[in-house]
Amino acid sequence: MPIAKRYDISYGALRPLLSMLGLGPRFSHVEIDGLDLGVAMGWGFRARFPISSIRSVVPYEGTTRNIGVHGFAGLYLVNGKGSGLVTLTIEPTAKARLMGFPVKLRTLSVSLEAPEQFIAEISAHIR
């Protein structure tokens, strides 16, 4: 059985605040486990879906000043800082939980400590 590969969500100056809110690095990560990808940011966001559902993985285009968990209508942002973001396009839509509520996930942008490495690994799975 393959060993799970974990990628840390990146954090900036608001890391102490997010940690106090239960959204810090202790409870947050992206994990490749066999054929599945899991994403967690504390109690604020959880998703697990097949890597085969990922249609593309690219560096995030644009800038963001938002920190935390945000989204609507299938488009979600999970980040601890505004840089190092990658965007996943998912089809068919995946199930996720936003603050405990079920949501559908079509596009997910997440800030990572090693975005280039993550993009390379996921790209190898989807080609």
- Give residue-wise pLDDT tens across range 6-28: 999 999 999 999 999 999 999 99
- What pTM value is reported for the model? 0.92
Q: Which residue matches tokens 């090693």?
A: 114
Expressed as residue numbers, the domain containing 83 is: 5-126
Total number of domains constituting the chain: 1
- Model pLDDT for residues 73-123, shown as the tens digit of each residue: 999 999 999 999 999 999 999 999 999 999 999 999 999 999 999 999 999
Contact 42, 27 (CB under 8 A): yes
Distance CA 3, CA 40 (A): 18
Distance CA 91, CA 125 (A): 15
Q: Are strands 45-50 and 85-98 parallel, antiparallel or unpaired?
A: antiparallel
Distance CA 97, CA 102 (A): 5
